[in-house]
Chain A
Amino acid sequence: MRTEAETRAVLRDWVLKKASGLDPEQLADSTALFEQRYLRSVHLPELLLLLERLRGAPIEVEHLNLDNFGSLDAMVRFVCVPESAP
């Protein structure tokens, strides 16, 4: 089981690999990744697989919206606080 800090680090690495034009210094925990178009819908299936892997449990896609993982903070909450997930 990863700690919250380890989970955040894995997600941060993934976002930086995927988000074109985003410098590490620009990426804050609250950066609105989809709103600012660093990530797009085409990234979602891969992101969902990563979130499921970090949680160790499936995520029901039908009840999701972008707010559930719109920033690093939201993603970490999603993984580490099970009741926050649909």
Chain B
Amino acid sequence: MTKAAAGSALSTALASIDDTVARLSHLSRRSYQNPYTALSEWPETVRPDEEWFSSPEYVSLYGTRMWDELDEPARRRLAFQEAANFYSLNIHGEKSLMRGLAARLYRPDLLGVADYLHHFLDEENKHSIYFGQFCRKYARIYRSRQIAGTETRPQHVEDLLFFAKTLIFEEIVDYYNRVQARDGRLHPVARFINHNHHYEEARHLVFGRRLLAVLWEVCTAELTAEQVDDVRDYLSQFFVMTWREFYNPDVYAEVNLPEPWELAETAWTTPYQRDLRRRVSAGCVKFLISTGILSEEPHDAY
């Protein structure tokens, strides 16, 4: 199939999600936000030794011997830096996402979703304002270890991978957001950031699932068995890549824990953490398997 024919097939297939796109656009317009209003109410300083900024059961060292050995203030300091790492991951993820969305905005075969892509972009930018403000005001922005690749693929495969990666990242993050928004132990700013992100991401997840099913349908008509395996390998490793960044040695070094890289490896292989990653990923994995995008769980991620 030529690029033009593939584009035409995509335009036609996208018509099946017109109603969803219109409804999500309406909801986005109804809850349009000015992030600077909320930011003006944030305290000047916070007390990382005394307040929780991440749910302890979701801290990357929970379930390890190191966690057992830390006293309560040290656990809170770690949970605070993990909140900053979590927000930093979101900042880096949203930068890539905004680049990808902007590149697809008003592409002729994606015109059917252009209105919603505007909302998507706008909302991601606002989320990054919250995350960036927290990190700069109270902590730091942790670096990413991601490096842009040089691989090239046909456009329909690039689209599929882009929106699949977006969905995987957002579903994992959203699980943390939902838990932490409801956790009454957390500082109000942490609960606000998690609640607000979840509130908006819920729309993105609906859009992502519907769009991805359409893209897969268009793609499978074109892909060889070898290319399908390649997509599945890539996305399975994307789960690993995404999860690995939750176990950041830079965070452990920041709170003066010894041998931060060994600690990251120990935490990664700790049974409690493996089970947590499986549990958090389950909804997204189930969706990807149900559509046929994945054929099995991403075992290396657990």
Most buried by B among A17, A53, A61, A64: A53
Interfacial chain B residues near A20, Cβ < 8 Å: 229, 233
B150 engages A49 (CB within 8 Å): no
Interfacial chain B residues near A34, Cβ < 8 Å: 150
A24 at the interface (CB under 8 A from B): no
A26 at the interface (CB under 8 A from B): no
Bound together, the chains give a CA A45 to CA B143 distance in angstroms of: 11
The answer to whether residues A45 and B241 also contact, given A37-B151, A61-B145 and a CB cut-off of 8 A, is yes
A66 smallest CB distance to B (angstroms): 7
A40 engages B151 (CB within 8 Å): yes
The answer to whether residues A52 and B249 also contact, given A42-B238, A61-B145 and a CB cut-off of 8 A, is yes
Bound together, the chains give a CA A66 to CA B149 distance in angstroms of: 9
Bound together, the chains give a CA A44 to CA B150 distance in angstroms of: 12
B237 engages A44 (CB within 8 Å): no
A49 engages B237 (CB within 8 Å): no
The answer to whether residues A42 and B149 also contact, given A53-B264, A56-B261 and a CB cut-off of 8 A, is yes
Interfacial chain B residues near A13, Cβ < 8 Å: none
A44 engages B145 (CB within 8 Å): yes
A42 engages B234 (CB within 8 Å): yes
- Count of chain A to chain B residue pairs whose CB atoms are closer than 8 Å in the complex: 64
Interface size class of A (residues with CB under 8 A): 20 to 34
Bound together, the chains give a CA A17 to CA B234 distance in angstroms of: 14
B234 engages A40 (CB within 8 Å): yes
A33 smallest CB distance to B (angstroms): 13
Given contacts A40-B151, A49-B244, A61-B143, 11 further A-B pairs with CB under 8 A are A18-B237, A41-B147, A41-B151, A42-B234, A43-B237, A44-B147, A44-B149, A44-B241, A45-B244, A52-B261, A64-B147
* 7 closest cross-chain pairs (CB), A and B: A41-B149, A53-B261, A45-B145, A48-B145, A42-B237, A44-B147, A45-B241
Among residues 241 to 274 in chain B, which have CB atoms less than 8 Å away from a CB atom of chain A? 241, 244-245, 249-250, 261-262, 264-265
Interfacial chain A residues near B229, Cβ < 8 Å: 20
B244 engages A58 (CB within 8 Å): no
The answer to whether residues A58 and B262 also contact, given A44-B147, A48-B145 and a CB cut-off of 8 A, is no
B contact residues, total (Cβ < 8 Å): 25
Closest residue of chain A to B245 (Cβ to Cβ) is A45
Interfacial chain A residues near B300, Cβ < 8 Å: 17
B4 at the interface (CB under 8 A from A): no
Interfacial chain B residues near A49, Cβ < 8 Å: 145, 244, 249, 261, 264
Interface string of A16-35 (1 = CB under 8 A from B): 01101000000000000010
B221 smallest CB distance to A (angstroms): 24
Of A37, A53, A61, which contacts B147 at CB under 8 A? A61
B92 smallest CB distance to A (angstroms): 10
Among residues 16 to 33 in chain B, which have CB atoms less than 8 Å away from a CB atom of chain A? none
Closest residue of chain B to A44 (Cβ to Cβ) is B147
Bound together, the chains give a CA A61 to CA B237 distance in angstroms of: 20
Closest residue of chain A to B148 (Cβ to Cβ) is A41
Closest residue of chain A to B237 (Cβ to Cβ) is A42
Bound together, the chains give a CA A56 to CA B258 distance in angstroms of: 11
A43 smallest CB distance to B (angstroms): 6
Interfacial chain A residues near B150, Cβ < 8 Å: 34, 41, 66
